[in-house]
Every structure is written in structure tokens, then in C-alpha cells.
Structure 1
Amino acid sequence: MSSPSVLIVGCGDVGGRLAQQLLGLGWSVSGLRRNVAALPAGVAGIAADLENPQWPTDWPLVAPDYLVYCVAASQHDEAGYQAAYVQGLKHVLGWLAERGQRPQRLLFVSSSSVFAQQDGEWIDETAATLPSGYSGQVMLQAEQLALASGIPASIVRLTGIYGPGREWLLSQVRQGYRVTEEPPLYGNRIHAEDAAGLLAFLLKADAAGRALEDCYIGVDDAPAPLADVVAWLREYMGVTHWSEQQRVRRTGSKRCSNARARALGWVPQYPSYKEGYAAILAAQP
């Protein structure tokens, strides 16, 4: 029996980590991105611009067993989100349809921005999705497109991704970043390696014949107030000064649960921000 094959559309940071994890398991991996030279070794490159409806000339002749749509918008406005998440997905689904290709499952990587809760409440995959911002609204539109594609699909709503190269908060704390403590501004995080690990886990589960839900939240075990995270990082890094300005994050405050993914057997490598940030800092010179 041959190993499964997967096409990762948007094979960047998280997608590249996923590719490396699956290659290590013996999977056949193709990666679609503009610059295929940036793909991890061992990934078959497909050079394409998702904003261009023209079929990529190096599209695989044989349908991949799995399709992972894991793109990042290059333009952070509504038009950019529409191009990346809605139009791009339409183009990929069209390329598959033109060749009569139907993967066994589609994983669409979405965002917790589809949730609008602001009062620190716990939420899971069944919580209401009534986003007021364009990012969450466009993501919901793309999610519906994936679920209506005719391909069995699961949505993976990732929370705040951090990791090597995603160190904005560390930089801010070093500058004396201030946040208000009351009311607590709860944030949700997942290490980039765990984000890729969850996607790999779901693919492996499906390949093993396990039934998947149509939605999973990708988050670690410990949503925490931003003030607590900043306080821990200040102590860990030995930062003693404060900036003159107090900055308050204006987005929603909520606590996302990973119970559904854990019930399937997934366990994050970095269960909280403490383990994740400690690993990042330990790797720095």
C-alpha cells in the first residue's frame, strides 16, 4: 500500500512545517506557492499565483489524496483577504474540477477571528460566529466555500500563531510593553509547530479511517490574560523598564477550548505560552 499524498496550497511557515512532518512519515508532499525555491527539501514544487485563474503548468497529473489550504494574505485589507482566501480557493477547486480530481479530504486553515466574543468567555467549535471585522467575515465566507466544495472538508481555526520568526510580542516586551490588567484581555495561542502538528494529526487520523468533525479549533491548553503573559516574559527575560505609553489591545477577549482536538487524541507539544516562549528564547544566541 502506497503512502498518502498531500498538496499543501500556501506552503509557507505553517505549511512548510506540515510538509516536513509529513515527509518524515513517508508521505508524498507537493507544495504550491509563488516561490518554489523556498519550499522545504523533498517537496515537489508547484509555482502558482492564487490570484491568477490560469492553471499551473506543473499541477500534479494524479489527484492528491489530501488537500490542505493554508495560505496567508499578502495584503492585509478586505480585498487582500478576498483574493487569498475566497478567490484563491475558488481557483484551486476549479483546477481540481477541470481534471476530475477529488481529494479524500480538504483541510481549510481558518482563524479564530470568526469568533466575536469579547467578555473572556470560554468558547468551542459550536460558539456563535458573528464577526464584525472584514477578516472574520471573509474567513467565514471561505469556510462555507470549502464545506460546500463537494470534497469532505474540515475547517481548522487557528488562534494566535507564534514561534521562530513570529516574535512580535517578545520584541514589544523588550521595549517595556504595557497592558491593562483589568478587565483581563484573554488571548489564545498556538506554537507554529503545534499548528502544523494538529494538521498532520488530522490528516493521519483521516488516513487511518477515523471520522473527523467539520471544524476544529487549534489552540494550546492555556488561554491566558495578556498581562500575565507579559509579566512572565518580563521576568524570564529580565526586563525591568516600562514604556511611557500604556497600550490596550482592542480586539476581543475570549478563551478558546481545544477539547475537541484533544478528544481525538491530539496533544500539543507546547501546552502553554511558557513552554513555547522558553523554547524560542533558549534557541536565540
Structure 2
Amino acid sequence: MTMRLFIFGAGYSGRAIAREALAGGHAVAGTTRSPENAKVLPQIGIRPFLFDGSAPSAEMLAELAGTTHLVVAIAPGEADPVLAAAEDIIARSMPALRWIGYLSTVGVYGDHGGEWVDEQSECRPVSRRSRQRDDAERQWLALGETLSKPVAILRLSGIYGPGRNALVNLQKGTARRIIKPDQVFNRIHVDDIAGAAMLLAKQETGGVFNITDDEPAPPQDVVAHAAALMGVPPPPEIAFDDAEMTPMARSFYGENKRVSNARIKGLGYRFRFPDYRTALDALWRNGTWADAQSTAPF
């Protein structure tokens, strides 16, 4: 089965999904807000379209008409920009559409006091951005029911990969070891986002899936491991209460949970990077840790 994949938001995660699809022989188109960035997408193999949340162009409408698989990787604001601009188009002008994937966040679970959560757990979004994601999830699932099309919600944990990781932060001098007792986070390598998304797309499977690694871990441990790989001293420990942080950064520490990935594994997905050590070791060994090729903002 050959797909015609369209990605709303061909940024860091979107481009990783595109590369996975292109490697499988599928056609890929995607959006960016910037004319300058639109020049980069064809170098990867993505047919570019400008999209700023306004009505799609005639050229984009023609591409959407032949799209079989749709990925939405644009964060919502007060309203989901893709639904606001294209909900009617998706419902009425995409006759070939067979599957929709929406990239969300494990932030919708909110705080569970460090306990394990899975896709059946209660969502208690705390931050405004997580509440917006929770609302957008429900809207996309409702659209799927209306269209009788499978919609997969991919709840992502903290994203990292080439050009975006603790090794880069150490090089830049921005890495910190902030200590909050019993605090853990899950993470996900961008290549596993791509692999899981393409598995769901190929199977045309709908539902909610946590796309996250096997090992929720304290953030300071990740920095220490990266420092050991680089052969540099780790930054000093800073107590959470004493750390200078932006309100957004501090809000992440207000949510503590361990996120299960059992459901996506049950479909046959095997994580390439099941924990941060495996991933950082590979990035360091392969010399791809500082590669900024796929990190331009879109």
C-alpha cells in the first residue's frame, strides 16, 4: 500500500515522520509558516505548502484531495488551527482519506503523584497548553467518528534527538541538574515518534497511544550520563526551590507521573531507543548528537 501523506506542521517531529515515510516509498507533502523554510522541505523530499492558519491555497486543496493519510503536528492555541481552517475541507474534500494522526502530549494526564498512567487513566491537565491539547484531542476524535475514519492520538513525552538533547545543552552551557526529590519524566526519541506514527498509519489504527520510552527517570540523571559520555564534569546540583526557572519550565515539575507504553508495544512496535542511555550513547557514538539539520523551527 502506497500512501500519500500530508503533514500539517513539518517541524522537528513532522520531518522525522516524513523521512520514515519517504524511506518506505511513500509520497509526502507538508506545511510550514515561513517561505524561507519552504525552501528546505524539498531537500528532504517533502512537497512544501505555506500555511499560517488561514484558508488553504488552491494548490494545497488539490494536494489534500488526493491525501490518504493525514498527520497533524501543529500545537493548538485557543482553537486548533488546522480544524479552524480545514475541518470542513477534511470532511468534504478529502475523498481518499483513510487515516488521521494527531500529535498530542502526555501532559494531558497532569499530575499523578509519580504513579503509573496508561491510556485509560484520568486526564487532569494542569497547564493551559495541556488543557488545549486535551480539548483538541476530543475534537479530532469526534471528527473521526463523524467521518467514520480512524484517528490515532499520539501522546508524546519529552522529545529529543539529533540537535536537541542533553549533550547539546552541555556544549552550550545551558544544562542544569535541578533536584526535586522523586521527580521523574518520560522521554521519547524523535525517531521512535516517526516509527510509531508510521506503524499506526500503515495499520490504519485509531485510538489513543502513549508514545514514550520504557524508563521514567530523574532529569538530573540524564544530564549526568551525557556529561560522562563527553568526559566533562556534570553541572552542580541545584535544589528545585532554589532554581531560577521560567514559569513554563517550573510548571513541568508540577506534574509527576510514570507513563506506560504497553499499548503501542501490543501492536508490535519495538522501540529503537527504549531509554535515554541507549539513545544518548548512540547519538554520541554516531556523532549525530549536534546535528541541527532537522531542528529549524517550522
TM over 0.5: yes
Q: Does the Cα contact within 8 Å between 1:107 and 1:154 map onto a contact in 2?
A: yes
Corresponding residue number in structure 1 for 2:296: none
Residue 178 of structure 2 aligns to a residue whose secondary structure is coil
Q: Within 2, Cα distance between the matches of 1:192 and 1:3? A: 23
> Residues 167-204 of structure 1: CA distance to partner in whole angstroms, max 9, x if unpaired?
3675159566232262x211000001111111011111
Alignment equivalent of 1:45, drawn from 31, 40, 48: 48
- Residue 186 and residue 205 in structure 1: after superposition, are their counterparts in 2 closer, same or farther (change >3 A)? same
Pairing 1:99–2:102 present: no
Corresponding residue number in structure 2 for 1:76: none
Q: Within 1, Cα distance between the matches of 2:118 and 2:194? A: 20
Q: Which has the higher helix share?
A: 2
Q: Does the Cα contact within 8 Å between 1:47 and 1:58 map onto a contact in 2?
A: no
Corresponding residue number in structure 2 for 1:20: 19
1:241 Cα offset (Å): 5.4
> Residues 85-129 of structure 1: CA distance to partner in whole angstroms, max 9, x if unpaired?
x13333122233352546111111101110112421111111110
Alignment equivalent of 2:38, drawn from 21, 36, 39: 36
Corresponding residue number in structure 1 for 2:6: 7
Alignment equivalent of 1:65, drawn from 61, 64, 68: 68
Q: Within 1, Cα distance between the matches of 2:21 and 2:44? A: 12
AA in 2 matched with 1:157: R
Pairing 1:90–2:84 present: yes
- Residue 238 and residue 147 in structure 1: after superposition, are their counterparts in 2 closer, same or farther (change >3 A)? same
The structure whose RCO (Cα within 8 Å, separation 6+) is larger is: 2
- Residue 237 and residue 129 in structure 1: after superposition, are their counterparts in 2 closer, same or farther (change >3 A)? same
Q: Within 1, Cα distance between the matches of 2:46 and 2:277? A: 32
- Residue 240 and residue 42 in structure 1: after superposition, are their counterparts in 2 closer, same or farther (change >3 A)? closer
Matches within 5 A, 1:197-276: 197-206=195-204, 212-240=205-233, 242-243=235-236, 245-247=238-240, 250-276=253-279
Corresponding residue number in structure 1 for 2:150: 152
AA in 1 matched with 2:58: T
Corresponding residue number in structure 2 for 1:162: 160
Corresponding residue number in structure 2 for 1:55: 56
- Residue 145 and residue 102 in structure 1: after superposition, are their counterparts in 2 closer, same or farther (change >3 A)? farther
Q: Within 2, Cα distance between the matches of 1:30 and 1:189? A: 27
Q: Does the Cα contact within 8 Å between 1:96 and 1:102 map onto a contact in 2?
A: no
> Residues 109-156 of structure 1: CA distance to partner in whole angstroms, max 9, x if unpaired?
101110112421111111110112101100011111101112421100
| TM-score (norm: length of structure 2) | 0.81
Q: Within 2, Cα distance between the matches of 1:55 and 1:172? A: 41
Pairing 1:280–2:280 present: no
Q: Does the Cα contact within 8 Å between 1:177 and 1:246 map onto a contact in 2?
A: no
Residue 187 of structure 1 aligns to a residue whose secondary structure is coil
- Taking only aligned residues, the RMSD between alpha carbons, in angstroms, comes to 2.4
Q: Within 2, Cα distance between the matches of 1:181 and 1:139? A: 26
- Residue 168 and residue 88 in structure 1: after superposition, are their counterparts in 2 closer, same or farther (change >3 A)? farther
Corresponding residue number in structure 1 for 2:194: 196
Q: Within 2, Cα distance between the matches of 1:24 and 1:108? A: 21
Count of aligned pairs: 267
Q: Which runs of 5+ in 1 are unaligned?
A: 74-79, 207-211
